[in-house]
Structure 1
Amino acid sequence: MEADFWHGKWERGDIGFHIADVNPLLVKHIDTLQLSPHSRIFLPLCGKTLDIHWLLDAGYRVVGIDLSEVAIRALFSELGITPEVQDLGGLLQFKSTDINMFVGDFFRLSGDILQKVDAIYDRAAMVALPAAMRLDYAAHLRQVTHTADQLLITYEYDQTKVDGPPFSVVADEVLRHYSDSYQLTQLVRQDVAGGMKGKVPASESVWHLCERAGTDLSGE
């Protein structure tokens, strides 16, 4: 998926993918991660999701990345926060108390820049990427987060009848990307009301990914 595709959507305000509510699956299942107060949660390709508002209100620290500066500036505006902005050479950093957002290419984000995170919440990253990019995405995510535990949300539907994003990511693919590094548990699988884009039946799954003992992906 070309960067211009997403830049264009945000610049035109064509953001039907932006859900104007907190995801109830996050609220229901975040305790699965067994996080301590003030834990730092990473949201890849986060846009301006209202999930960030909820996580901050719940006492967590949030770090995220998105291609769109429009989205990240809108996020801080809606939070009522004026961030400190820093050019990191290839990435922009928008930072304030308990929130740190990067703008730029996810694959330019290093572990040193990201720093330690306690968990990953992937609601809209893996499903936003075409199949050709998802293997590299999963590998880079594991590397920069040192295989932090995850809540991952995926969709399954007949992609021959309607194309993504969000793309269909079947259970076998999730296992293929992550089973070497994580113990995986499918917490829930449920029908999507109205189907995918109102065109085909679809299901939505929540996965808990817990690091396997002995996994070490700390090297760059």
Structure 2
Amino acid sequence: MDTSFWLTKWRENNIAFHESEANPLLVKYFKELSLEKGSRVFLPLCGKTLDIPWLLSNGYRVAGAELSNIAIEQLFTHLEVEPQISRVGEVEHYSAANIDIFVGDIFDLSSKMLGLVEAIYDRAALVALPRAMRDRYTAHLTEITDKAPQLLICYEYDQSLMEGPPFSISDEELNQHYSYNYDLTLMLSTNLPSGMKGKCPAKENVWLLRND
């Protein structure tokens, strides 16, 4: 799976993964991060998620990384904000009051480009990547955010019954990625009513990752 896979999804508007409202699990569990208003939250592989307007409306600053210009142009249209666009290294930087989105390959984003991150909200990034990429992604994310705490949402199901994305992330794998730098707490594990795309049983798990 390469960048063309996701760029094609956005170009063809094949974005069933896009939710029509802020994720209820974000709304319910975000307070567990114990952030002060004005804190800067990083959303990797953010798309045009409505989680971003929710965070902004609740007084937080947002940074994001996304591969598709189409997604981010639609995001700013929804926000009714005209971004300033500049080039930073290999990525484009879309910025406005309280929001910075970096468009390009997330592996081209450095901690210096990204700036201060006080928490990470990962709903759509880890589950979007095949196993071969997840080791690299989790190491990179930890590095560029200086081990910022995370609210992480992922799925668990029998991967042999369905190809991702979204991919299945087991508790064991998550610990392999993150237990060296974080204390992991499973906040919720719930069965998806229709399973994973109606093809197999699946659980949706909400994790809190803290390093204190």
- Normalising by the smaller structure, the TM-score range is over 0.9
Task: Quote the residue 1:160 is aligned against.
Answer: 160
1:211 positional shift: 1.1
Percent identity over the alignment is: 51
- Over the residues paired in the alignment, what is the CA RMSD in angstroms? 0.7
1:145 positional shift: 0.3
Task: Quote the residue 1:96 is aligned against.
Answer: 96
Q: How do residues 122-161 of structure 1 correspond to structure 2 at under 5 angstroms? A: 122-161=122-161
- Match of 2:43, SS state, is strand
Task: Quote the residue 2:173 is aligned against.
Answer: 173
Match for 1:112: what amino acid? K
CA distance in 1, matches of 2:70, 2:13: 10
Show structure 2 runs of 5+ residues with no match. none
CA distance in 1, matches of 2:145, 2:127: 19
Match for 2:121: what amino acid? Y
CA distance in 1, matches of 2:199, 2:120: 31
CA distance in 2, matches of 1:79, 1:118: 23
1:163 positional shift: 0.9
1:107 positional shift: 0.5
CA distance in 2, matches of 1:89, 1:55: 27
Task: Quote the residue 1:9 is aligned against.
Answer: 9
Task: Quote the residue 1:121 is aligned against.
Answer: 121
CA distance in 2, matches of 1:15, 1:166: 12
Match for 1:113: what amino acid? M
Show structure 1 runs of 5+ residues with no match. 213-220
1:87 positional shift: 1.2
CA distance in 2, matches of 1:89, 1:183: 33
CA distance in 2, matches of 1:136, 1:12: 28
Q: Deviations over 1:64-117 (max 9, x none)?
A: 000000001100001100000001131000000001001000001000000011
Task: Quote the residue 2:72 is aligned against.
Answer: 72
Match for 2:209: what amino acid? L
CA distance in 1, matches of 2:36, 2:82: 27
CA distance in 1, matches of 2:193, 2:68: 29
CA distance in 1, matches of 2:175, 2:112: 27
TM-score by length of 1: 0.95
Q: Deviations over 1:124-159 (max 9, x none)?
A: 000000000001100000000000000011100111
